[in-house]
A and B are shown apart, each in its own frame.
Chain A
Amino acid sequence: MSSFPIISSSIFLPLLGAIFSFFYKEKTQNAVNKIFYFGIFISLLNLLISIYGVIIFDIENPSFQFKELINISQTLSINYFVGVDGLSLLMILLTNILIPICFTLSARKITNHVNSYVAAFLMLQSFIIAAFSSLNLVLFYIFFEAILIPMFVIIGIWGGKDRIYSSIKFFLYTLGGSLFFLIAIIYIIISYGSANIIELRYLLPMVDVEIQKWLWLGFFLSFAVKIPIPPFHTWLPSAHVQAPTAGSVMLAAILIKLGAYGFLRLSLPILPDASAYFATFMSWLGVIAIIYASLIAYVQQDIKKMIAYSSVAHMGFVIIGIFSMNVQGLDGAIFQLFSHGIISAALFICIGIIYERTGSRELNIYSGVAHRMPKYALLMMIFTMGSVGLPGTSGFVGEFLAILGSFKYHKIIASCAAIGVVLGAIYMLHLYRNVLFGDVKSEKINSLIDLNKKELFTLGFLAFLVILLGIFPNLILNYTANVSKVILISIN
């Protein structure tokens, strides 16, 4: 084991990059602002650190690795205690893959306040990695909330027409949910005397089930707004539609996963009796999410809103998997977190590409795009099939395992979820057929240019990942095996 602080360097490198790029002044006007190269460089360095971490990570060891501890405050029970296990490692890897892609694709599109843009994304990356790797409850809360600040700025400055409304709604909604989480955290600190997540897993018998249920509800409100679970999902469509492309990618691929990560890391191990009590309730909420969101996605006219609702639907599978309380379900949920991160990122990039070319996201103006953009059509097909859950793509593995896990205990719920898969196919194929197939009907579509090298490379890389994980799912499942076992030990 090397003593190189992998996690701290992952957190502080983008933070220093953000400070540097905030103060950077561009001397000459170029087509691509030089600060983007700096941003890509820093995030690629972070990706290398992450890959190094994955390589030296010990799969057999179920405990947290690369731990670092700095005492900050005894009175406030805050410590800089970070470490990763398989789940955190996967999420951090996902973040580090997606941020360079965000920078690459927005390099030519963003022209105002460019250095603040790069600074905001690097700050976002730093806070997300810190949130995923923190093992102290209060530190997790601090970074969970701090993520809202750069996201608020990203949506509000570089977003669409209605961006101010949606960014404030996003901020206040998420903040409101998290404040109940804060009360639950403080109660835990007072009763247990420790905010250390590892210790809390063993201290749980002290608190009786009624109190556990209230604490669980406090946790639930915050994660439910984040995931989002209907009826707390109304911030998501407006935030996604108004955010810039790269902002939507980060929102859908990473920020949403924080809610599910919260359930996996906090609710299930620390409050297992309450989680078992609420499991059926949560599984029903998951099924409602899948079916409701799929049905609403089908009638959308705005493509980005359709994909936003599809995110809600896919997270329903994650919820079903998490609360199935067995190994297959948990494995499926974690796999779905990673695979949905890639697929939804790719879908938002695809819609961003045609939005930038034509200036509109309305479904009815598009038809026959495949005639003019065949490479785009092929890649979009792979992502559509991944979203639907076609075997051979990574989307299948996660959904299949989640439904399989859930079937053991809640047969009706699993059957409804399976119906939800069909509904997912309905709106995705509807989208694909309307946009890409058919005849070229308008001049705008006729003059579309196919993907340039940058877009081809990034989308191709994501498509490769989707197919690779579909054929060799063990690449991810090896890392999730220990995570699921440890969570289930607490529950049983």
Chain B
Amino acid sequence: MHLLIPELTLISGAIFCLMLDILFVHKKPYAQKFITYLAAGFIVCAIFFLFKNYNIDSSKIILNGFLRINNFTTFIKIIFLVLLLFLLLSSYFQIKILQKNYSEFLFLLMISTAGAMFLISSINLLSFYVSLEMQTIPLYIMAALDRKNDKSSEAGLKYFILGVSASCLMLFGISMVYGFSGQTALHQIFADKISIGVLFGLLLILISLFFKISAAPFHMWSPDVYEGSNITATSFFASISKLSFLIIFSFYFIPATIIWNGMEKIIYFISILSLLIGAFGAIKQKNLKRLLAYSSIGHVGFMLAALSTKNIVAIHSFYFYAITYSFLSIAAFSFLMIIDKEHKYTISHLSGLAKTNPILAFLLSALMLSFAGIPPMLGFFSKFYILKAVIMGANNQNFTLPIIMITYSAIAAFYYLRIIKVIYFDEANKKNKIALDNKGGIVVFSILSFLSIISIVFIEKLLIVLNNSVIL
């Protein structure tokens, strides 16, 4: 039981913050600032407990076969909490925007993260479903939380309806798997020879997960939801939530692809579709949030291409790309939080940034180049690793997937380059001068962008830590 202390810390912290908020209803926003520090304190305690968990040698199975704690899950949970801390640091300004709902927002963030932590530990279909709901229901509420903005309500409604439909599909799939195999524990399901019914159920579960990671053709919700939601909610969707879904997807997909050969073809098709939609969909976008949504579809396509091969390098490169992508996402959205004013996130809002703020412009250009995969930034190394895995798996026969991947890179480089062009080459935007009062956001953005520039220095250490901890 003591292995679950980090999650319990997080949940109790969330509830405690909510209680305090109700008690001090007369003294906001001082109370809200104090609650933010308290929440951050609980998260730091949870990280500390996770580090204490890190030294176990083998997987420990707890709660009667529902959850599994090993080095890999502990490592990912630490990453979740670090990302959450960065998110909290940069979204301090939401106190003014969300006012009464700010503490509820914190509560939802922490519960969703706790749900994500349970999700990646779950090895049983039942615990998988419960923790998935624990993670996603706060997401639906977060998407709609900014009640003054009607786009937010639209986004929340869309996400809720589509997300619940996907969860229904998943329940159907889970029930089919249980019905045809008689087991709910994952390792027992995959150990026996699986029948066509179990395969069908698995496929439904995977489709539901494709929806959650916004892979094409299940991606239609993500540009609208990203655009309409509150910026902190969008940032959470793009980083922590997406990382957790990608990891649980890999836990289901990798055993399934070992058992059934058709999985390769399915993910091959889906990854090519995601790459093409990610490349072409973002070209016409003027809103930065929608652009980042389409770019995340493309990046997910890139990651899924690695899973279409069956070698161990592919799995390592998938996790490496997912983790670095979530950090880069937090950096990009923290930049949007810096320039947030009347919720205007259009590209033209950024024009001439180099003249007013040269250092910020330089860091943003470096971040955009990292997204595009231009050396010597961090994004290039993760792309290189995935390309290496895919070419290894191509086995001298079929090189269409690498060629489509690099075509995607070349096309996607255009819209990242366009942002750099707008920053450096356009006239300064005199109407909206960027007020730099989001100090937390500036700190987060600067640290993460700077790390992505000098990443070549510590990249081997990152890779070694990751490769040592990956256990399936």
Contact = CB atoms under 8 A, between A and B. Distances in A.
B402 A183 contact: yes
Nearest to B316: A75
B197 interface: no
A179 B414 contact: no
B392 A190 contact: yes
A141 B421 CA distance: 24
B427 to A, nearest CB: 12
Contact of B463 (A76, A146, A176): A76
B421 A168 contact: yes
A59 interface: no
Contact of B396 (A73, A113, A148, A211): A211
A179 B375 contact: no
Given A72-B459, A73-B459, A186-B388, A146 B414 contact: no
Contact of A175 (B376, B403, B410, B463): B410
Interface in B388-419: 388, 391-392, 396, 399, 402-403, 406-407, 409-410, 413-414, 417-418
Given A146-B375, A164-B421, A172-B417, A72 B388 contact: no
B330 to A, nearest CB: 23
A477 interface: no
Contacts of B387: 182-183, 186
Interface in A173-187: 175-176, 179-180, 182-183, 186-187
B262 interface: no
Contacts of A152: 417, 420
A211 B374 CA distance: 27
A326 interface: no
Nearest to A171: B417
B11 interface: no
Contacts of B376: 142-143, 146
Interface residues of A, number: 39
Interface string A131-163: 000000010011101101100110011000001
Nearest to B377: A146
Given A73-B463, A171-B417, A179 B388 contact: no
A116 interface: yes
A142 B373 CA distance: 11
Contact of A22 (B362, B374, B417): B362
B351 to A, nearest CB: 12
A179 B406 contact: yes
A76 B403 contact: no
A148 B374 contact: yes
A53 to B, nearest CB: 24
A258 to B, nearest CB: 14
B384 A76 contact: yes
Contacts of B384: 76, 138, 182, 186
Interface in B90-115: none
Contacts of B388: 76, 186, 189-190
Given A138-B384, A179-B406, A180-B406, A164 B425 contact: yes
A183 B409 CA distance: 12
B456 A75 contact: no
B267 interface: no
B410 A179 contact: yes
**Residue with the highest number of chain B CB atoms closer than 10 Å, among A72, A75, A153:** A75
Contacts of A168: 414, 417-418, 421
Contacts of A76: 381, 384-385, 388, 459-460, 463
Interface string B435-472: 00000000000000000000010011001000100000
Contact of A145 (B375, B414, B425): B375
A176 B380 contact: no
A156 B463 contact: no
A176 B411 CA distance: 9
A141 B375 contact: yes
Given A116-B358, A146-B376, A156 B425 contact: yes
A167 B410 CA distance: 15
Contacts of B316: 75
Interface in B300-315: none
Contacts of A73: 381, 459-460, 463
A172 B410 CA distance: 7
A242 to B, nearest CB: 12
Nearest to B399: A183
Contacts of A172: 410, 413-414, 417
B459 A183 contact: no
Interface string B220-250: 0000000000000000000000000000000
A75 B391 contact: no
B418 to A, nearest CB: 8
Nearest to B422: A164
B369 A157 contact: no
Contacts of B374: 145-146, 148-149, 175
A72 B409 contact: no
A182 B406 contact: yes
Contacts of A171: 413, 417
A152 B418 CA distance: 12
B42 interface: no
A182 B459 CA distance: 19
B369 A149 contact: yes
Contacts of A141: 375
Contacts of B321: none
A30 interface: no
Contacts of A492: none
Contacts of A143: 375-376
A217 B279 CA distance: 25
Contacts of B268: none
Contact of A74 (B369, B403, B460): B460
Interface string A186-203: 110110000000000000
A72 B385 CA distance: 14
Nearest to B396: A211
Nearest to B402: A183
Nearest to B463: A75
B345 interface: no
Nearest to B426: A164
B417 A183 contact: no
Contacts of B414: 168, 172
B409 A179 contact: yes
Given A75-B316, A190-B388, 18 more contacts: A72-B459, A75-B460, A76-B384, A76-B459, A141-B375, A142-B376, A143-B376, A145-B375, A145-B380, A152-B417, A164-B425, A167-B421, A172-B413, A175-B409, A175-B410, A176-B410, A179-B410, A182-B406
Ranked 10 nearest A-B pairs via Cβ:
A179-B406, A142-B375, A73-B460, A176-B410, A145-B375, A186-B391, A156-B425, A75-B463, A186-B388, A142-B376
12 contacts: A22-B358, A71-B460, A73-B381, A75-B467, A76-B384, A76-B460, A116-B358, A149-B369, A156-B424, A172-B410, A176-B410, A179-B409
